[in-house]
Each structure stands twice: as C-alpha cells, then as structure tokens.
Amino acid sequence: MSHATVLVGFAEALSAPEVVWSLADAGFRVCAFGRKGRRSALRHSRYVTVTDVTAPETDAAAAIREVGAWVRSLSDSSNGDPAVLFPLDDAAVWLCDRVVETAKSGVALAGPSGRQVAIALDKAVQMETARCAGFNVLPTRVARTKDDVLDADNCFPLVLKPSQAVGWSEGRLRKGRHWICGNKEELEQAVRGWAEAFPLLVQPYVAGTGEGVFGLSRVGGVDALSGHRRIRMMNPHGSGSSACASQLVPAQWSAAAEKFVQISNWQGLFMIEMLRDSQGTSWFMEFNGRPWGSLALARRQGLEYPVWNVRLALDSHWRLTDSHHVQADLVCRHLGRELMHPLFVLKGPKSAALTQWPSLSKSLVDVLDFGGDQALYNWRRDDKRVFFADCLNTLLDNLIKAR
C-alpha cells in the first residue's frame, strides 16, 4: 500500500508541506499540483515536485482537464500500484470531485465526493447538520438579495459570510469575503460591497476563542479525536490562527462530532471549528473536510491524519489500531503570521463591533515569548527552505494585499 502515488493539491494550501512530509515518511510517492503564477513554499521542498495547472479561479474547466490528464498519466505509469487524489483546500475539494467523476481510469479519492461535497462546502447544510448533531448553532438565515439583509429586524453586531466555501460562476470558482457590522451604516456599506454576488449567511457576531475538533471518520466510528484552541489570529479582525495550543476534546463535543459524521455519512479526516464566547458557551462555526492549517500541531503529537486518510481511501475497511496519546498545552506557531500579527494590530479594527482589540505592546510581548513547550508550523530540519519560503511568502502576500 505504501507504494501508492498520492497527488496532492493545491500546493498553496497552508497544510501542504506537513501533508507531503507525513505521506513521504510513510513511504508514499508524492506529487503536487499548484496554481500557475502562485508562490508556494512547497515548490522549495526536496520531497515533492510541483506541476502548474490553470487555477480554477481563472478557468474551472481547464483546471479539471489538466488535473484529470495528470491523474490518467499517473494511473497509466503506475505499474499496477494505486493512485490517490488528495485535495488540500476547498477549491481542490470541488475540483477533485469533478476530476474523479470524469476520469476514465480508476483513482482513489482521499476526499469527499457526491453528496459529501455539499457537507464540505455548503455552510447552510453544515449548520442544519450541526443542529441535528447536538452542537450549539447561532441563529442563522440565508440572504440572496439586499432586501433579505436590510429589511430584516437586525440586531447588531452581525457577521455576513458566504454560504458556500467556494462558488462556481461564469466558468470559474469564486470565494466570497466576510463582513463584521457593528451598526446600520457598516451593514449598508457591506451590502454595497457584496452586490448580491453570492448567497450570504447572516448571524450574530460573537467574540470569543476559536477552538477545533479533529478526527478520522470510518465505517463504524471515529478515530484519533484531538483538539486545539487559538491563542492568536494573524488578523484580530478574523483570520487563521498564528498560534494555537493543543487541548483535550470535551465529551459532549466528541459525541456531537461522531453524530455529525454519522448523519452526513462522512468518511475520512475532518475538522469542526467552534467558538467559545465569554460566558463559556461553545458555538459551531463550520466543518472542514480537508486538511486544516494547524495540521503541524497534530503531527507534533504523532497524529498522522494525512497518512491515515490515504490508507482509508485505499481500503474503506481499514481502521486505526494503535492508540495515540493526545498532548495538552503544546503550542504551535506560524512564524510569518506571528510577524504579521502586530502589523494588523497597529492597523486597528475595521468595525465598531470589535471592542476588544489587543494592544500593540501586549501583542509584541506575546509574539516575542518563546517560553514553554512550543513548536513551529512547516519546520523540518532536512527541508529548511520550505520554512523560510513559507515565512517570506506570508509576509509578501499580506503586505502586497494591504497595498
């Protein structure tokens, strides 16, 4: 089984280096596809070669054709060894499902297909499934027109976010933006920027601490549940974490997570994002059916979710037999995002809803604190160029975007 070739993508995903290292260490041959013209740290790795394809955000049909052709060539040259397609981000989830649908040769998909793609990408479906599974779910409505947003009896603050993780329109994939609105004026400005381009979820805005539940769902149960909490976000306005810490999964979350994947008939790795408010209530935020940004934290604990996900894709009856110790309070940090954090703090909040903005002095102290049990995202001693490229790309991408 370890002779299988695994094709991962997109190379720009934050988790990509950790996924490649996990698979390579287990004996898999790994290839990767990346978006043409996009920087990625994975291009500097000695463990994988990245091949460019048309970005689905530019031409979705071309992306399907190009990745499909590569999958067929891998199958033809594999000498009987299996090939696996492994999506690493939401766009790749959408793309890989369609590639497998059109592929003439057999290829295993280490990701969602068919009805499971809706669970992975449709936030409205996720909210209803989470409610049925026993999670706390914020009052949520779907808006398709500006009147759906403005004519409602709104209680501020609100958050507006796309109902689809990625959406298909005019032959290409699009990813919408989020808005936090502290008053009517901010809401009207957000609606103008939205311009009814995609369906929105409208929810109360809740400040709190982001937490996550991770696991591997298989026939008959869930294995290797683990958790984390965010210590800092790169941008306090709302972004991925720049530092997080491992934690044990509460029993009620374990039960709800198992029921969620049971209801959705999910198979493979998954991540459930939660938000704990100041009163201690944990709210369901979203479900991810692909590797998550903080995968480095799981791997530092010996939780090799990428390898397990591929083995499950190759054999639906495979199950994890070894027990794995989940360590609490191990901190993992992304250097590039940590360096960006004080700059976002200095820029200040974009909405009146953000009343708990961190101070610059405390942010600097926190970022410079390297005490305790800490590790770094995307660090590997024999593949150092990936780490430094990842840090540089993070700084360049965010500074260019700010300009």
Tokens of 261: 């994947």
User: Which residue from 28, 2, 7 is spatially nearest to 75, judged by alpha carbons?
Assistant: 7
Mean residue pLDDT across the chain: 92
Instruction: Tell me the CATH number at 98.
Output: 3.40.50.20
For the chain, how many structural domains are there in total?
Answer: 2
User: Which residue from 195, 210, 200 is spatially nearest to 180, judged by alpha carbons?
Assistant: 200
The domain boundary, picked from 157, 173, 204, lies at 204
The domain boundary, picked from 204, 219, 240, lies at 204
Say whether both 93 and 14 belong to one domain.
yes
* Domain presence at residue 368: no
Residue 104 has pLDDT above 70, yes or no: no
Helix, strand, coil shares of the chain, percent, nearest 5, are 35, 25, 40
* Domain presence at residue 37: yes
Say whether both 165 and 67 belong to one domain.
no
* Domain presence at residue 392: no
Say whether both 192 and 107 belong to one domain.
no
Instruction: Please write the tens of the pLDDT for every residue from 232-267.
Output: 999 998 878 999 999 999 999 999 999 999 999 999
Name the band, by pLDDT with cuts 50, 70 and 90, for residue 76.
low
The domain boundary, picked from 204, 225, 242, lies at 204
Instruction: Tell me the CATH number at 177.
Output: 3.30.1490.20
* Domain presence at residue 213: no
* Domain presence at residue 98: yes
Name the band, by pLDDT with cuts 50, 70 and 90, for residue 15.
very high
Say whether both 15 and 82 belong to one domain.
yes
**pTM: predicted TM-score of the whole model, two decimal places:** 0.94
Cα–Cα distance measured from residue 390 to residue 88, given in angstroms and rounded to the nearest whole number:
16
Average of pLDDT values for 161-186?
92
The region, left, alpha or beta by phi > 0 then psi within -120 to 50, assigned to residue 190 is alpha
Name the band, by pLDDT with cuts 50, 70 and 90, for residue 3.
confident
Number of Cβ within a 10 Å radius of residue 370:
9
Instruction: Please write the tens of the pLDDT for every residue from 272-298.
Output: 999 999 999 999 999 999 999 999 999
The DSSP code sequence of 242-273 is EEEEEEPPPHHHHHHHHHHHHHHT--EEEEEE
* Domain presence at residue 89: yes
The CA-CA-CA angle for residues 352, 354, 357, to 5°, reads 125
Average of pLDDT values for 97-124?
89
The CA-CA-CA angle for residues 129, 134, 137, to 5°, reads 70
Say whether both 39 and 95 belong to one domain.
yes
* Domain presence at residue 340: no
Question: Which domain covers residue 68, as residue numbers?
Answer: 5-111
**Secondary structure of 75-115 in the HEC alphabet?**
HHCCCCCCEEEEECCHHHHHHHHHHHHHCCCCCEECCCCCH
Say whether both 81 and 9 belong to one domain.
yes
Q: What does each C-alpha distance from 361 to 75, 294, 336 come to in angstroms?
A: 55, 26, 19
* Domain presence at residue 21: yes
Residue 77 has pLDDT above 70, yes or no: no
